[in-house]
Structure 1
Amino acid sequence: MATEDNGSGGTGLPASIEAAWGLRERPTKGPRPGLTLTRIVDAAVGIATADGLGAVSMSRVAAELGVSTMSLYRYVSAKDELLLLMEDAAYGSPPPGPEPDEDWRTGSAQWAWALRAAFIRHPWAVRIPISTPPAAPNSVAWMERGLACLRETNLGEGEKISVLMLVSGFVRNEARLAFDLQAAAERTGAGPEESMASWAQLLERLTDAERFPAVTAALRAGELSTPGGPDDEFIFGLDRILDGVEALISARS
């Protein structure tokens, strides 16, 4: 069956997503038989990597591929579908495992670090709005891998999904914050140490111990003037989340 119509093949998914799952064949009619969904997504990913997500448009992708914009719509009916497929390409395949003797916490931590690495490879991916639950192949594979880490716990299936949402949301937010701070530093030309020192100096001028005792205590301790390592906040946050999950598992025991 062809992807030239945008109807569902029984899944309720757009034709392009069905094609990503291998449920549809490429169009059998029309120009440029060498054009494929993979080539379209790869071109869009290349544009996002070079110029940012905002540079991606159907016309720009068509120009990169040397085809007409209308020819893309035989494979992808809307830009939102293309963004979903780009995000799925950015994720790539999840890490292998878990190993039979791997405990849930180790597996979940490795899953979180691997997801963070995917965002670091493709920073533009965190700019794609989440408009649907996982439905593309790689996204569902990541979901499967994350849930498998929790298979030996006493959590209910719904709770396992909630844990996965909590961890993935943290990873995504932490990555986006790190990218925003990096972009700000690049605009000003200031390094992390200089930026933190300037911020601390500003707070010292704006605050006083009577109105802002907690901020003053942090300033006096030097915690607001010295940046930590690039992974410190991620390690701290992930550990606290997994501590909470561990407490829930222990309470159920």
Structure 2
Amino acid sequence: MCPQPTDAARTQEEVSAMTDEPVPADLSRLWRLPDRARLGRPAELDVERVVRAAVELADRRGIGAVTLAEVASTLGFTKMALYRHVGSKNELFELMSDLALGPAPGIDTEPGQWRTGLRRWAHALRAEFLAHPWLPQLPISGPPRGPHSIGWLDAALRALAATELDWATKVGIVMLVDMHVRQSSLLTQQLTDARQGTGLDEAAVNQNYGAALARLVDPHTLPQAAELFASPLFQSPPDDPADGDFVFGLELILNGVAAEIESKA
């Protein structure tokens, strides 16, 4: 079961006191601000119920099965009944992403331990993507806006708080790590899907791949590629290549962050 959005949001009254501008409807739904205009009995349907049903549907059948009509049918309502609570399919995806992501992990570290903090953050995010394989498939239409996604942003920025980096650099680092986690998770998922039905694990697939290309690649015209496929890399691949590739890429990024921090010292 996905957790509720965090309590980090201001109340509707606090938001209204800060500005005369109303909160956009989609943001109000994303942060679960109460609808003060609604009177009478509580509605049979609300944003939370719709989004939870959509997440459960995606977990069971994949993101391709999630349509407004299918979610409505699951809940026993018509598609039109959903539009009061979710403005569009794209908004539903954003709501699903924020709910499934859940609260950010507690990764507070001692000052100067930014590498440990970002490493924990990246592994925690990857765990969420593995738990909900459809998450990295969702289109990205803009910066994070939901309570959970902002919580994850805050957690990563706290890891970098003691550095001398400016805000633009910190945000750029968080985006880079996020992209690495997202793309690595998506690639792992796609390769896993491609292996289904073959009866082979990833190590066996890589061995077959290396052996086939070693026979085909001409060392005179493609010398480096030929040497690669003849190397032990494909003859004795690691037990979990996907995990190794993820860690390797993450550590390269963190090494680059270390160099940037050192240049600002």
TM norm structure 2: 0.86
Residue correspondence of structure 1 range 99-114 to structure 2 within 5 A:
99-101=109-111, 103-114=113-124
By how many angstroms is 1:189 displaced? 3.0
Partner of 2:180: 170
Q: State the match for 2:259 in structure 1.
A: 247
Q: Does the CA-based 8 Å contact 1:41-1:86 persist in structure 2?
A: yes
Residue 224 of structure 1 and its aligned partner are, at CA, apart by 2.4
Task: Give unmatched runs, 5+ long, in structure 2.
Answer: 1-11, 13-19
Q: How many residues align?
A: 245
Letter in 1 for 2:248: F
Mapping for residues 217-228 of structure 1, pairs under 5 Å = 217-228=227-238
1:231 corresponding residue in structure 2: 243
Identity %: 36
What CA distance in whole angstroms lies between the structure 1 residues aligned with 2:213 and 2:150? 45
1:70 CA displacement? 0.8
What RMSD over aligned residues (CA atoms) do the two structures have, in Å? 2.1
Residue 116 of structure 1: aligned partner: 126
Corresponding position of 1:50: 60
Q: Deviations over 1:156-184 (max 9, x none)?
A: 11100000011000000000000011001
Separation of aligned partners in 2, 1:224 and 1:144: 40
**Cα distance per residue 1:195-227 (max 9 Å; x no partner):** 112211221222021122112222222212433
Identify the residue that residue 7 of structure 2 maps to in structure 1: none
User: Could you tell me which amino acid in structure 2 is paired with residue 251 of structure 1?
Assistant: S
Deviation at 1:193, TM superposition (A): 2.6
State the 1:30 CA deviation.
9.9
**Distance in 1 (alpha carbons) for counterparts of 2:195 and 2:207:** 13
Q: Does the Cα contact within 8 Å between 2:58 and 2:65 map onto a contact in 1?
A: yes
Between the aligned partners of 2:88 and 2:153, the Cα distance in structure 1 is 25
Shift of residue 125, structure 1, vs aligned partner: 0.7
Equivalent residue number for residue 4 of structure 2: none
Question: How is 1:119-130 mapped onto 2 (pairs within 5 angstroms)?
Answer: 119-130=129-140
- d(CA) in 2 for partners of 1:142, 1:25: 26
Contact 1:90/1:119 (CA < 8 Å) preserved in 2? no
Report the AA paired with residue 46 of structure 1. E
1:89 deviation in Å? 1.3
Which of 226, 235, 242 does residue 216 from structure 1 map onto? 226
In structure 2, the residue matched to 1:5 is none
The one-character-per-residue Cα deviations of 1:129-175 (angstroms, maximum 9, x if unpaired) are 11111011111111111111100011111100000011000000000
Change in Cα spacing, 1:242 to 1:186, as seen in structure 2 (3 Å) is same
Higher normalized contact order (CA 8 Å, seq sep 6+, divided by chain length): 2
> Which blocks of at least 5 consecutive residues in structure 1 are unaligned?
2-8
Contact 2:54 2:96 in 1 (8 A): yes
Q: Give the alignment's TM-score, normalised by structure 1.
A: 0.90
Deviation at 1:118, TM superposition (A): 0.7
Query: 2:156 corresponds to which residue?
Result: 146
In the alignment, what sits opposite 1:4? Answer: none
Matched, 1:77 2:87: yes
Instruction: Indicate yes or no: 2:97 matched with 1:87.
Output: yes
Aligned residue for 2:32?
A: 22
- Asked whether the 8 Å contact 2:107–2:120 carries over to 1, the reply is no
CA distance in 2, matches of 1:208, 1:151: 52
- Contact 1:134 1:140 (C-alpha < 8 Å) held by counterparts: yes
Q: How far, CA to CA, are the matches of 1:11 and 1:243 in structure 2?
A: 44
2:106 corresponds to which letter in structure 1? P
